[in-house]
Amino acid sequence: MSVLQRDPRDRVQVLDEDGSVVGEVPDVDDETLLSIYREMKLARHFDTRAVSLQRQGRMGTYPPLSGQEGAQVASAHALDEEDWLFPSYREHGALHVRGFPLDRILLYWMGTEQGNEAPPDVNTFPVAVPIATQTLHAVGAAWASKLKAGEEAFIVYFGDGGTSEGDTHEAMNFAGVFDTPTVFFCNNNQWAISVPRERQTRSETIAQKANAYGFQGVQVDGMDPLAVYQVTRAAVEKAKADDSGELRPTLIEAVQYRFGAHTTADDPTVYRDSDEVEKWKRKDPIPRLETFLRDTGRLDDDRVDEIESEVQETVADAIQTAESTPRPDPDEMFEHVFAERTPDLDAQYESFAALREEFGDDAFLHR
C-alpha cells in the first residue's frame, strides 16, 4: 500500500523523538541523507544569524523558521530537478535547497527587490507574503504545464492559517477537478501568528480536507525528515502519473512547530506557554536525524565538526555579500506597484518625500 493511501488521520512517521527507527526507512542514498542533515544545520544557523541581524537594525522584519527545517529541507530534496517550488514567506531552507542563494534571501528581507529574483536555472517563484495567494499561482502553473504535456510537479507551501483562506479552497478545488500536478504542502506549525490551530478548523486533521476535493491527503510528522521525504517523494511521483497514468494532486499536512516568533515583530510569549515550546523542542528534527545517521554509521564527530564549520562560513559569506550590495533608493517602492502611479500612491510619495527631506536619508536607508 502506498504511503499516500493511509488514513489521513494516521500520521506517517519513520523516526521517533529519539531518532530510533519506528517505520519504513525510505530508499535514500547516503549522499542525500547527509545533504539533508547539512542543509538543516545550515538553515538553523542562517535563521539564528538572520534574527540577530534584525535585532541589530541591519535587516527588516524577518520570519524565523527554526523547528521547521525537517519539513522544508526534506521535502525540497524529494523534488526532481525540473520541478517547481512556490514558497510562502518562511521557506528559506527549501529555497536554498533548490539553489536560491542565501544572500538574495537576506537582501529580500533587507528591502531589496533583487532578493526576490531567482537565478535563471532555479525553478522557484517569488516569496508570497499575502496568505495563500501562492496556492493559486502554483495550480495555474501546474495546469499550464499539463496542457503543454510537461513533466514537472509543482509544490506549494502554506501554513495552517492559510487553510482558512478562500484562495486555498479555490486552488484545491481546481486542482481536484482538473487533475493538476500539484503537491499542496501545509506546514501545520500550530500557530497562525497568535491564532492556534484549533481555531482554524473543526476537522480532526487538515489532511482529510483533501477528501472533499477528490484527491488524497496524508498527515506526516513534519519534524521527522525521513518521513517527510518519503511522503513528498510519493506525492511528486503521483503528481506526474499514478498507476493509471493520470496526474493527481496531493495534500500533505506536515505537523510541526515553530520554535520562535511568527516574525521578529511578534512576541509569542503573549500567547504561548513556555512548557508547550519545550515539549515541542524535544521533537527537534536536527538531533533526530543526527542520531539516525550516527547509529547507521553515516556520521561521526569529525564530519559533524566539518559540517558546522562549513555552515558558519557559508552563512558568514552570505551576510557579507548581502550587506555589501548597494541598497535601492526608497523612492523605488512607489514605482512598481502598478504600471502607472495612482493618485493614492502620488499622495503617499509626496508625504514620504517631505519626511525624507525633514529627517534625511539615514532615517530610511539600511547601511
Q: Which residues are catalytic?
A: 258, 262, 271
Residue pair 111/366 in contact (Cβ under 8 Å)? The answer is yes
Q: Which residues of 6-38 are buried (b: 16+ CB within 10 A; e: fewer)?
A: bebeebbbbbebebeeebeebebeeeebbebbb
H-helix or E-strand spanning residue 103? helix 102-109
Q: How far is CA 276 from CA 44, 195, 200, 201, 273, in A?
A: 20, 15, 19, 21, 5
Is residue 195 packed enough to be buried (19+ CB in 10 Å), middle (13-18) or exposed (0-12)? middle
H-helix or E-strand spanning residue 185? strand 182-188
Q: How far is CA 85 from CA 30, 106, 126, 309, in A?
A: 24, 19, 9, 29
Taking alpha carbons only, the member of 121, 353, 159 closest to residue 254 is: 159
Residue pair 240/180 in contact (Cβ under 8 Å)? The answer is no
